[in-house]
Structure 1
């Protein structure tokens, strides 16, 4: 698939984390943006993001996904690109990946396995000169794990993290429609049917339980695994200096 073959469109699950309450205040607008696939944004969206202050992108997708779409219009703009895959392949998601109510198990496994890459992503966010956008395909699972990690480092409560996570549920139908031209091909490669997955994974009642499962698994010190993977007090301080308004 070449860039000429891509179906370009505006993101449907993009949101600035500005306003989320954290220790000492709230997240500053224009600091961190979570999104669905930014490799297939239309030209106008790409230009608007850069004009609004986007300076770096963290792509959490697998190599297979990137090979399918490349970087898209944003790849031709003055934006630093970082590939920080949280899974080697979407085939690694596991059998629970077809049922959104069971995603918690996947999130726990992802958090544990990708802890060094979570820290890498947090370091990028901490030191970027402007807004950083991070994305996967839907902006729900890998993106949700990174958003939760960032908010934990900033001292957000479980309630605030879950509230941000469930906002994706409002966009579920639009996400699946936007994913179909690209992720449908990849899912077929791994023997999955996108329509079947959509019926199971995307529900009118979006469940907060997967994120609650992840947060509950982290125990009394939710940053312990990230500290063991390299998260330092200095990095947390730098994140807070940039983020907290």
Structure 2
């Protein structure tokens, strides 16, 4: 484990981790221990790493940018027998923030649409990892909200979950945001400084109000543009075989 230029990082348990099990999907209910969404797994303690592995974790999908990974590395899970897949959904976090100087739930929703448009191949790769990993796959970014939320939405769409249930899952992060900001400050502070952003300004720019708006914009836009909301993923190589495997694994005990 290496923590580069980030002396204030404190290892701790995730504060935005949840198993997607229990959500209604095509043919039944998504089983537990297929897919876990979470905030930054690079920051977990040794004890939490052991608990996750003991509970069946076999693969991690890291959606963070190279800059983020360069600060905190892989953390204690990097020394465990867990497959690691770095699949960045944004190549340059700084560029994304410069393009969106004012954060609103509406602008975040638009950024999710852009993420599906530009990172569909990466999303397909991530879905294949979930489909073909033998145990539980956990996927994360920093907060476990935006990039993680988009991948969770794509997985749930493929499995046949309703838009309402996808939004409900996404919005569970809302109450966790204060704890997320505190937990990730040791990484995000150095990252924002390196990119030339003021940490306090960035924190104050986070939108208030119900965050469900962002996910509803993504889902509505995909349906309006494509009819089939996973059409961009199909165009990027998502196969019927992978969809079938995900749906079978989602329902198998």
Could you tell me the TM-score, scaled by structure 2's length?
Answer: 0.92
Task: After TM superposition, list the pairs within 5 Å mapping 1:1-245 onto structure 2.
Answer: 2-3=2-3, 5=7, 6-94=9-97, 95-96=99-100, 98-101=102-105, 102-201=107-206, 203=208, 205-219=209-223, 220-244=227-251
- Give the alignment's Cα RMSD to 1 decimal: 1.6
| Cα distance, 1:184 vs structure 2 | 1.2
Q: Which runs of 5+ in 2 are unaligned?
A: none
CA contact (8 A) 1:99 1:197 kept: no
How far, CA to CA, are the matches of 1:26 and 1:187 in structure 2? 40
CA contact (8 A) 2:2 2:75 kept: no
How far, CA to CA, are the matches of 2:66 and 2:125 in structure 1? 17
Q: Which runs of 5+ in 1 are unaligned?
A: none
CA contact (8 A) 1:172 1:202 kept: no
Choose 189-198 or 110-119, whichever is displaced more: 189-198
| Cα distance, 1:98 vs structure 2 | 4.9
Choose 205-214 or 116-125, whichever is displaced more: 205-214
Could you tell me the TM-score, scaled by structure 1's length?
Answer: 0.95
| Cα distance, 1:197 vs structure 2 | 2.3
Relative to structure 1, the CA distance from residue 176 to residue 96 in structure 2 (aligned partners, 3 Å threshold; closer, same or farther) is: same
**How many equivalent pairs are there?**
244
